[in-house]
Structure 1
Amino acid sequence: MDFPKGLDWPGLMRAGLHELRLTPREFWALTPAELVIMLGRDARAGPLGRAGLEELARRFPDVTKDADDD
């Protein structure tokens, strides 16, 4: 069976049908976001720490414009 790329459908189905013991009808009635919340995997990311800030600065360095630049 081919599944669309982007979502781990087999993993989501295992989690919904086995971990949460949902019926197939209940599973397919959920949105992926609802399923993630029900599984308790919606934990918010913590505040940005020094390592995260340094990674952002490395990926997106500040650039200064010359007086001639617009």
Structure 2
Amino acid sequence: MGEALPSLIALAARVLGWRPQEFWAATPAELAAALGPMSPPTADPGIDRQTLAQLMEREHER
């Protein structure tokens, strides 16, 4: 954990509402599971590389 530790503690406090004793009692796996994905699994993935390239080419031609 090292340098990331203060950030992880702050994240657990803000996002999960964990107090220090809850943070220190949790395993790394429990912390990862509690945080889960930071965006919903149904979130729009955005555009793919090919679509981006086409848009860039179209804009370049203007």
Using the size of structure 1 for normalisation, the TM-score is 0.45
Between 1 and 2, higher relative CO (CA 8 Å, sep ≥ 6) is seen in 2
Structure number with greater Rg is 1
